[in-house]
Amino acid sequence: MNKLISIEEAVNHIEDGMTVMIGGFLAVGAPIRLIDALVEKGVKDLTLVVNDTAFIDTGVGKLIVNKQVKKVIASHIGTNKETGRQMNEGEIEVELVPQGTLTERMRAAGFGLGGILTPTGVNTMVEEGKKKIEVEGKEYLLELPLKADVALIKGAKVDKKGNILYNKTAQNFNPTMATAAGTVIVEADEVVEIGEIDPNVVMTPNIFVTYIVDGGAK
The DSSP bridge partners found for residue 74 are 96
- How many chain residues interact with its own copies (CB under 8 A)? 24
Our finding on whether 126 is near its own copies (CB under 8 A) is: no
Instruction: Report how far apart, in Å, the C-alpha atoms of 124 and of each of 97, 102, 155 are.
Output: 12, 16, 36
Q: Which helix (H) or strand (E) holds 106?
A: helix 99-110
Q: Which of helix, strand or coil describes residue 218? A: coil
Comparing C-alpha atoms, which of 52, 39, 18 is closest to residue 148? 18
Residue 138: how many CB atoms within 10 A of its CB?
Answer: 10
Our finding on whether 215 is near other proteins (CB under 8 A) is: no
Task: State the minimum distance, in angstroms, from the CB of residue 79 to its own copies.
Answer: 26
Full DSSP string of 152-165: EEEEEEEETT--EE
Our finding on whether 75 is near its own copies (CB under 8 A) is: no
Task: State the minimum distance, in angstroms, from the CB of residue 25 to its own copies.
Answer: 16
Answer for which of 149, 161, 192, 214 binds other proteins (CB under 8 A) is 161
Of 36 and 44, nearer to other proteins (C-beta) is 36
Our finding on whether 217 is near its own copies (CB under 8 A) is: no
Comparing C-alpha atoms, which of 55, 116, 49, 52 is closest to residue 80? 55
Our finding on whether 135 is near its own copies (CB under 8 A) is: yes
Site string for other proteins, 110-139 (x = CB under 8 A): xxxx----xxxxxxxxx-------------
Local structure of residue 134 (DSSP, 8 states): E
Binding part of the chain for its own copies, among 28-36, 48-56, 106-114, 173-181 by CB under 8 A, reads 106-114
Comparing C-alpha atoms, which of 175, 172, 168, 160 is closest to residue 208? 175
Full DSSP string of 7-73: HHHHHTT--TT-EEEE--BTTBT--HHHHHHHHHHT--SEEEE-SB--BTTBTTHHHHHTT-EEEEE
Our finding on whether 138 is near its own copies (CB under 8 A) is: yes
Residues numbered 67-106 forming contacts with other proteins, rule: CB under 8 A: 74-79, 84, 87, 94, 96, 98-101, 103-104
Our finding on whether 201 is near its own copies (CB under 8 A) is: yes
- Give the binding site for other proteins (CB under 8 A): 1, 25-29, 51-52, 74-79, 84, 87, 94, 96, 98-101, 103-104, 107, 109-113, 118-126, 156, 159, 161, 163, 166-176, 179, 194-195, 199-200, 202-203, 205-208
